[in-house]
């Protein structure tokens, strides 16, 4: 009758010792810094670093290089003019609104207060942008299934 | 002096705009630079899987032609070449016909239709009787005490287009003002002139077949406004319209 008692004690002690060892291991793992999730866009797959993948094109002629530089300068000027025109238009818009509000204030204070109140229903404002061609009436798009293959990492 | 009658009558007008549905055509410089950017991208890129496959198959074909023995290749199975795939895709693309960018309404210059000039903003103009003249204006209606100017403008829109119009009014504040004095014949101490406050809204319902339009109306672009509006009115309206 003494033997089963020994077994229990020894088992209990062994189990407790095991649990403590597991807890120590868990603590060590938790203390270590979490592994950083790799950004898949920044890692080029190895198959793209093979040399036979390099495109073979004729080298750039000096006239072509000249033409490109001049075109980029023209583009710079074009974009500057476009930006200035946009800013001018926005300035005119704001001035027009300020003038309207000034006149309204001269007319009636309560209407002015109602006008400068914030419009809560304006945002969030959603709108689909323009496409290259208008939607085709009665178009039936072909059926297909989209299989999502994104890898999900857990820390 | 809150009860003193102010000499100006107030009107609220709504500039309802249908936003563009298609992109505007590119300018010459934009097209040139877009072509250049594509060229540079091509030069800096590597071959893709599809192009590698095409190159390998070309090599195989060349070897087949030159060596004339095709014991390796002739195993009885038909191989789909990358070139065939490309031709198949090209055929499929050519069979698809997209909707035209220039619609019938453009060709017939039907200014009452909303399907015109899909790449620019269209504004609503209605013919209204002011005094004893019939003028083309942005829909306006007189302000009644007890409502804000924004609701006056919304009422103007509802009067001319019916109640089922879905429009997003851009804020509570007016965008512009047009002030004018009445002609001397009807000018009195208490009734010097009128102030028309303009509000802007974007049209959201795309078809107006259910709207019962009560007067003559037109949908015009900013450039065409000059054909219909008087010069002073046009100047004030042009200030708050971005093209």
- Which tens digit of pLDDT belongs to each residue from A47-99? 888 777 888 888 899 999 999 999 999 999 999 999 999 999 999 999 999 99
A33, with CB counted inside 10 A (0-12, 13-18, 19+), is: exposed
Supply angle C-alpha B231, B236, B237, rounded to 5.
95
The confidence band for B76, taking pLDDT boundaries of 50, 70 and 90, is: very low
ipTM of the complex: 0.81
Q: How far apart are CA B104 and CA A104, in angstroms?
A: 43
Cα–Cα distances in angstroms (integers) from residue B193 to residues A82, B131, B150, B227, in the given order:
39, 12, 21, 25
Are B46 and A95 inside 8 Å of each other by CB?
A: no
Q: How far apart are CA A100 and CA B240, in angstroms?
A: 11
Q: Which two tokens stand for residue A117?
A: 């109140």
Are B99 and A71 inside 8 Å of each other by CB?
A: no
The Cα of B242 is separated from the nearest Cα of chain A by a number of Å equal to 7
Question: Tokens 């013919």 — which residue?
Answer: B127
A23 touches chain B (CB under 8 A): no
Q: Which residues contact B112 (CB under 8 A, 6 or more apart)?
A: B217, B218, B219
- Give the chain B residue nearest A112 (alpha carbons): B173
Are B176 and A135 inside 8 Å of each other by CB?
A: no
Cα–Cα distances in angstroms (integers) from residue B99 to residues A129, A131, B50, B55, in the given order:
17, 11, 31, 37
Listed range (A99-108, B62-71, B109-118, B175-184) with the worst mean pLDDT: B62-71
Q: What is the Cβ-side half-sphere exposure of residue B239, based on CA atoms within 13 angstroms?
A: 22
Q: Where are the domains of chain B?
A: 8-22+109-240, 28-95
Q: How far apart are CA B40 and CA A97, in angstroms?
A: 45
Are A71 and B33 inside 8 Å of each other by CB?
A: yes
Phi, psi of B68 (to 5 degrees): 65, -5
Question: Does a cis peptide bond (omega within 30 degrees of 0) precede residue A124?
Answer: yes
Sign of CA dihedral B151, B156, B158, B159: positive
CB nearest to A100's CB, from B19, B47, B174? B174
* Pairing verdict, β B193-203 and B167-169: antiparallel
CB contacts of B173 in chain A (<8 Å) are 97, 100-101, 115-116
The confidence band for B133, taking pLDDT boundaries of 50, 70 and 90, is: confident
Longest Cα separation, chain B: 108
| pLDDT, position B134 | 87
> Three-state SS for B179?
strand
B167, with CB counted inside 10 A (0-12, 13-18, 19+), is: buried
B239, with CB counted inside 10 A (0-12, 13-18, 19+), is: buried
- Give the chain B residue nearest A49 (alpha carbons): B46
Query: Residues B75-81: what's their mean pLDDT?
Result: 64
For the segment B101-128, what is each residue's pLDDT rounded down to a tens digit?
Answer: 888 878 888 888 888 888 899 998 888 8
CB nearest to B172's CB, from A78, A115, A131? A115
Q: How far apart are CA B193 and CA B142, in angstroms?
A: 13
Question: Tokens 């810094």 — which residue?
Answer: A33
Which CATH architecture group holds B8-22+109-240?
A: Alpha-Beta Complex (3.90)
| pLDDT, position B1 | 38
Q: How far apart are CA A9 and CA B164, in angstroms?
A: 84
Q: How far apart are CA B171 and CA B197, in angstroms?
A: 13
| pLDDT, position A71 | 96
Question: Tokens 């309802």 — which residue?
Answer: B16
> Three-state SS for B231?
helix
For the segment B31-58, what is each residue's pLDDT rounded down to a tens digit?
Answer: 999 999 999 999 988 888 898 888 888 8
Q: How many CB pairs under 8 A join A and B?
A: 125
Contact B140, B11 (CB under 8 A): yes
B176, with CB counted inside 10 A (0-12, 13-18, 19+), is: buried
Contact A115, A101 (CB under 8 A): yes
Q: How far apart are CA B64 and CA B218, in angstroms?
A: 69
A 80-119 residues inside an 8 A Cβ radius of B: 89-90, 92-93, 95-97, 99-101, 103-104, 107-108, 111, 114-119
| pLDDT exceeds 70 at position B75 | no
Angle between helix axes A62-107 and B231-239 (nearest 10 degrees) is 110
């Amino acid at each position: 009758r003494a033997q089963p008692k020994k077994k229990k004690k020894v088992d209990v002690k062994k189990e407790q010792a095991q649990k403590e060892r597991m807890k120590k291991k868990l603590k060590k793992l938790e203390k270590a810094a979490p592994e950083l999730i790799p950004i898949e866009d920044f890692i080029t797959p190895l198959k793209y670093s093979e040399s036979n993948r390099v495109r073979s094109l004729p080298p750039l002629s000096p006239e072509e290089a000249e033409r490109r530089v001049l075109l980029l300068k023209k583009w710079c000027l074009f974009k500057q003019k476009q930006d200035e025109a946009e800013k001018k238009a926005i300035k005119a818009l704001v001035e027009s609104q300020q003038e309207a509000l000034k006149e309204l204030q001269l007319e009636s204070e309560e209407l002015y207060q109602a006008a400068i109140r914030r419009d809560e229903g304006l945002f969030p404002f959603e709108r689909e942008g323009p496409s290259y061609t208008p939607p085709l009436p009665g178009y039936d798009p072909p059926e297909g299934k989209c299989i999502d293959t994104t890898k999900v990492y857990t820390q | 002096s809150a009860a003193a009658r102010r000499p100006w009558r107030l009107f609220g007008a709504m500039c309802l705009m249908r936003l563009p549905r298609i992109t505007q055509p590119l300018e010459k410089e934009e097209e040139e630079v877009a072509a250049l950017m594509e060229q540079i991208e091509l030069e800096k890129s590597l071959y893709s899987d599809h192009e590698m496959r095409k190159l390998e198959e070309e090599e195989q074909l060349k070897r087949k032609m030159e060596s004339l023995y095709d014991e390796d290749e002739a195993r009885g199975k038909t191989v789909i070449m990358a070139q065939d795939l490309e031709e198949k895709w090209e055929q499929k693309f050519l069979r698809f016909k997209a909707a035209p960018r220039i619609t019938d309404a453009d060709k017939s210059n039907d200014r009452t239709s909303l399907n015109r000039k899909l790449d620019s903003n269209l504004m609503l103009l209605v013919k209204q009787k002011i005094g004893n003249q019939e003028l083309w204006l942005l829909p306006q209606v007189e302000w009644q005490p007890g409502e804000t100017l924004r609701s006056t403008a919304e009422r103007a829109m509802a009067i001319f287009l019916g109640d089922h119009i879905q429009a997003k009014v851009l804020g509570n504040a007016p965008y512009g003002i047009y002030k004018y004095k009445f002609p001397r014949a009807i000018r009195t101490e208490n009734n010097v002139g009128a102030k028309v406050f303009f509000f802007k809204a974007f049209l959201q319902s795309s078809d107006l077949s259910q709207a019962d339009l009560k007067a003559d109306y037109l949908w015009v672009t900013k450039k065409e406004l000059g054909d219909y509006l008087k010069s002073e009115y046009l100047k004030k309206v042009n200030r708050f319209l971005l093209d």
